[in-house]
Chain A
Amino acid sequence: MSEKNKLMSLTDAVKKFVHDGDLISLGGFSATLCPMATVHEIIRQKIKHLHIAACSNGQAVDELIGGGCVERIEIAYGGNGRFAPTCLHFRKAIEQGSLKVEDYSNYQMTLRFMAGAMGVPFLPTYSSLGTDIVNKWGFGEEYRAQDERLPLKKLVIKDNPFNRTDKIDKLVLVPALQPDVTIIHAQKADALGNVSLKGLVYSDLEQVKASKNVIVTCEEIVETDELRCNPEYNQIISFQVSAVVEVPWGAYPTAVPSYYDYDPAFLLHFYPKVAKDSIEWQKYLDEYIVGVKDRQEFLQLIGTERLDSLRADAVCGYNPELKRR
């Protein structure tokens, strides 16, 4: 076995790489490829005061907020498609004032990770000129000045220094993000941390490249030689990754293209019911997250029959027979 082997248990990976107060970013988008197993482990380990940076991560962010782990969040979209126009814990925590939020757009959050990945302090865009994304800062200047982990400003508007016309040419500069840790779920990885993602990659790759540490959970660990057969499909390289954990069904109840579909029974019916009611929510946490030892015990509660009903068709990558209401 190579010294560079990064296989470890999820418990150890979270213990080693996720700490109170860390800036963390989560891969996936809405109800696909959310790193749910790791999110549950973070809740189980009672990690607190997290600072989250995300584009449009629906389910993972919402459960982490509901689990009491998050103090502040920079985000573009706190919804989950047609499963939740606005995620329930996200909404409740902001309305109650227990979660500090800074709003950006999806492109801006992507550019912020990309700047971090490129090692430059900011990137420019034309998006949001004239809007309240520019005018209203969730993290005020004073708050930012007191915390050296935050950029001094939410964003800056600058004239294009190369402009040689009379035409107005202003750009919004958004500050780089370099998370302490990024957590993603993938289809396949090897023990060294080379990763192959299938389907849309959202901003996962920018997030990974920008991060000091990266935890990858995956459906299957494969041999490096298998990944070498299709190098153009390997988007993440071993030396970008800190920990690799094989976690089948690791994104449930969200989808993993080619492996399984999202679970509408969970997302449309079960989750809204428990997330709306604080007693029900506590029961969910106790029974499904804190009260189980690991992912395997959680999956036993969901049941084999339910999981089998989500298995993806080999051709289309989802389950066309799935009941989606």
Chain B
Amino acid sequence: MSEYTLQEMMAIVAAREVQKAGVDVILCGTGISTLAAVAAKKITTPDVVIFFETGAIDVEFNQMPMSLSDPRVMHGAVRLAGLAEAFALIQNQITGKKTLGILGAAQIDIYGNLNSTVIGDYFNPKVRFSGSGGACDIGSVVGQSMAFMELGKRKFVDKLDYLTTPGYLDGPGAREKVGLIGGGPQLVITNKATFRFDDLTKKMYLDSYYPGFTPEAIQEEINFAIDLSRAVEAVPPTGHELEILRTQCDPERMVLK
């Protein structure tokens, strides 16, 4: 078995999920999110279109971007538009349904809602973060989404300090009731385990734990009780997957540690 880092595991898990999702388009952010999209394109789904909310569409990278507006997302793209066109493409359900969004946040709750705005009271915050950017738009309207999170009790919380990006809100039927048109989150990828959402209750459950971790140890790092009964040990990255990830996806090691 090849040696791998947890970060590499996360990118490979995401690449495999893109294939499973059967989407035409991946809408991604920077960092691990871009790395995962490139890994999907190079390893599992070569025809998938990589798309940034800034309006860079069908991007081909030679170097990892430092932001969604990096000139590195522009060169070689099929189209460069703007925000208005980019978000219209996902809000319009003809194309929005074909899109998988990749998100991340400071906090997540049991229904997959995300907070990237504040810790503490919104009107008198202990810590202020960047805010939504396009995350709320993406979580509201795309057909499918996944989130990268770091496992930990301060991240997996009972109640979010601010609900920036909608998951399943407060449970079954809630998205439909408020009028959200997109599909809601499918998968949460962390540094130790992955989580999915129950079809009926919309609650998060443990989907897989990475080799070397146990379901019980994962539960210890989460502030709410989750169903562990369906968890399986995740399949580690293969030598082939790792080689492509390291040599073709991020050879400069801008994201890979």
Contacts and interface: CB of A to CB of B under 8 A. Distances in A.
Whether chains A and B associate is yes
Interface of A: 28-33, 55-56, 58, 75-83, 85-87, 90-91, 94-95, 97, 103-108, 110-111, 114, 125-133, 135-136, 138, 168-171, 199-206, 255, 257, 261-262, 264, 312, 315-318, 320, 324-325
A318 B62 CA distance: 11
Contacts of B55: 200-202
A78 B84 CA distance: 19
- Between B117, B132, B180, the greatest number of chain A beta carbons within 10 A of the residue's beta carbon is seen for B132
B133 A77 contact: yes
Contacts of B241: none
Given A90-B128, A131-B164, A81 B91 contact: no
Interface string B121-162: 011111111111111110011000000000000000000001
Given A106-B87, A110-B87, A202-B54, A255 B132 contact: no
B130 A29 contact: no
B132 A86 contact: no
A226 B182 CA distance: 45
Nearest to B161: A132
Interface string B230-257: 0000000000000000000000101000
B177 interface: yes
Nearest to A56: B133
Contact of A132 (B74, B140, B164, B182): B164
Interface in B36-90: 53-56, 62-63, 65-76, 80-84, 87
A95 B163 CA distance: 18
B82 A200 contact: yes
Given A82-B30, A202-B82, A255 B136 contact: no
Contacts of B67: 29-32, 58, 80-83
Q: Helix, strand, loop or mixed for chain B's interface?
A: loop
Interface string B105-125: 000000000000100001111
Contact of A171 (B75, B87, B179): B179
A94 B127 CA distance: 9
A132 B163 contact: yes
Given A32-B69, A110-B84, A133 B176 contact: no
A75 B211 CA distance: 42
Given A110-B84, A132-B122, A83 B131 contact: no
B59 to A, nearest CB: 11
- Between A76, A83, A317, A325, the greatest number of chain B beta carbons within 10 A of the residue's beta carbon is seen for A76
Contacts of A133: 132, 136, 164
A315 B162 CA distance: 44
B162 A132 contact: yes
B169 interface: yes
Nearest to B82: A201
Contacts of A136: 122-123, 162
